[in-house]
Structure 1
């Protein structure tokens, strides 16, 4: 019997070793591609694309060679000069990236997005800026796997197009504000105070496309909420007709958009995440855990052009929200810093953080709101 047991153990160990070797064999080795080809459409040399009369321009490419059949994400980029210069501290990039993405080697370039990029790159401010003649636009593909891993650009191709003037100023996301017992220097404070002293906005959801006409969409906030401290979410600080609270009694089990609602309140202090969809008119809230506690910064500086200001942290336990009132005299680049940490973005006057980017700001008086945990910023015009 002992011999049989020993033989069985050997067979089991051999099977396990073989299985481990099979697992190793099935795990691909990722290689970094050096090039991939965007094909020129068959009729590109003789055809002129009327961007106002079509929905998409079909583009095809050879998939970058990652050493295995990877799921690749593609986005289309457009440049009027074919120079493809990146953004610097003093100048914008010569190209723009279209919003739509594809995981197929057949990529549809959305003509409305392409037209919007052309209008912005050309700097058109009215219909008089465009003479109606066909013009060239150069496009290329940006590809990566996973969370922007192993990024690579294709070659560029030239397309002849007839664009059209369009108003490219989108509606500012119509977010809601948090205010209550534990928020700010003056809880439930006077709404005429600057944002930050008594209330602050929910954050944008990174990568979400907000309605260009209404500003409606999805918003979020993750923060530490103390026990038995009530708060609400409102559209306009100081008015209570459009507000979110809990139905019937204080809590967060039945959140409703109702001016007669009760305060939102938790029994157990901790980290929570709120998610608001203003299109579906739905607010949810749930407890959140972290593998490691978020870094709490002692100071954050906002630099805009040659000016800088030390931001003020919103008064809360474990606060990650900052604010400052500034006047921007001329168009400039802006970024947020704390020690060696830097945050920037690609959109003004609101946006989510983009590594390595700086924010192109316009002149005006602003209250700047900055949430380094949710990775969001607002330049709110006064």
Structure 2
């Protein structure tokens, strides 16, 4: 029976620690079994060799990786993490998928794989990329991590942009119109983790559902039970009095909350874009919504040239909103916040824009 020599590791660690009189950190040798061979474990070959990721299936599991637990020579609770890199990169640059599990069945979620590929600049939805996968086995900081063999697959991603979601109901005076683009829901970033949020004024007794595609009821979420969403549920309520509420929606785990908002609220007469596109000398006004004085919308905002811009209040620099989110510093974004002071880089185009001046969430989707 192969056994890991714990005593040898302990003594080696003590010697390394006591001998550490210079600036170097002590080094623990890679774990070896009784035959002086490095402990290893095998990632089994996945059921398919290629995948095409689809945004509409962002919260689905595309495959389940399997392996046998490494033989440490002692019982261990092992946590597995999936790591990916571009083909033949040998994990010099890699990303780890967010889901970690204890057990030898590791689910691969569509949006997590797509997000990791985007971070590694494998983002062209017209390209089938060779992606290398491996598993990291981890017990604790006292035991060196182990890595499996590499398995390669061909994967075609979708755009990193978040899938838009929409309210439907008598909430926000929508009148159960399921084809109203102004009912889009805010999110903190454009990474497709299926987390959405909305803070706004709601009348007592209002109800809503959530749909994915305007004009289409086939993909929807409603009330399953308190705090739980269901794809065939009833209307969601919980608005016991007129006032401001925050709704959080986790469509990946089918959870939601509705809570009264008690933070500060400031009213503005006008909010507009200003930037390089108009020489920082004019204002492109947004329209205050009819259902909430803190929601500003423009369905056809034309930005005629690439460059930086900001939002400002009342055509004056006394109060302005820029980007602090990294999304707005490096690339064109769709869902984020204008909650900082930096100018935002935006490409020329025509946009649907929706801005919440309470939370500073913004949706800016190119048409």
Q: Is the 8 A contact 2:332 2:345 kept in 1?
A: yes
**Which sits farther off after the overlay, 308-317 or 261-270?**
261-270
1:231 and 2:220 correspond: no
User: Structure 2 CA distance, aligned partners of 1:255 and 1:117?
Assistant: 31
**Inter-partner Cα distance in structure 2 for 1:221 and 1:273:** 6
Say whether residues 1:258 and 2:231 are aligned partners: yes
- Which stretches in structure 2 are left out of the alignment for 5+ residues? 1-22, 24-86, 95-114, 128-155
Partner of 1:52: 89
- CA distance, structure 2, for counterparts of residue 376 and residue 51 of structure 1: 40
The correspondence of residues 190-269 of structure 1 with structure 2, limited to 5 A, is 191=179, 195-196=181-182, 199=183, 201-205=184-188, 210=191, 215-247=192-224, 253-269=226-242
Question: In 1, are the aligned partners of 2:168 and 2:178 still within 8 Å (CA)?
Answer: no
1:326 & 1:344 partners in 2: Cα distance? 17
> Which residue of 176, 187, 204 maps to 2:175?
187
Deviations 1:272-325 (A, max 9, x none): 2111123223222222323xx4112121112251164211122224x3221111
Work out whether residues 273 and 284 of structure 2, in 8 Å CA contact, stay in contact via their aligned partners in 1: yes
Query: Number of matched residues?
Result: 221
2:161 equivalent among 169, 172, 181 = 172
Task: Name the counterpart of 1:295.
Answer: 266
* Aligned pairs for 1:355-370 within 5 A: 355-370=340-355
Q: Name the SS of the counterpart of 2:163 in structure 1.
A: coil
Quickly say closer, same or farther: Cα 1:311–1:237, change in 2 above 3 A.
same
Q: Distance in 2 between matches of 1:225 and 1:259?
A: 24
Does structure 1 residue 348 correspond to structure 2 residue 332? yes
Structure 1 stretches of at least 4 aligned residues deviating more than 4 Å after TM superposition: 115-120, 167-170
Which deviates further from its counterpart, 354-363 or 335-344? Answer: 354-363
What pairs up with 1:1-382 in 2 under 5 angstroms?
52-54=89-91, 170-183=159-172, 187-189=175-177, 191=179, 195-196=181-182, 199=183, 201-205=184-188, 210=191, 215-247=192-224, 253-290=226-263, 293-304=264-275, 305-306=277-278, 308-317=283-292, 319-324=293-298, 325-338=300-313, 339=316, 340-345=318-323, 346=328, 347-350=331-334, 351-382=336-367
**TM-score normalised by structure 2 residue count:** 0.50
TM-score normalised per structure 1: 0.48
Q: Which runs of 5+ in 1 are unaligned?
A: 1-38, 40-49, 58-112, 128-166
1:169-198 Cα distance to aligned partner (Å, 9 max, x none): 9521124222332425x533361x5x33xx
Residue in 2 aligned with 1:91?
A: none
Q: Deviations over 1:44-78 (max 9, x none)?
A: xxxxxx99333579xxxxxxxxxxxxxxxxxxxxx
Instruction: Provide the aligned C-alpha RMSD in A.
Output: 4.0
Contact 2:306 2:347 in 1 (8 A): yes
Give, in whole Å, the separation in 1 of the partners of 2:220 and 2:247: 14
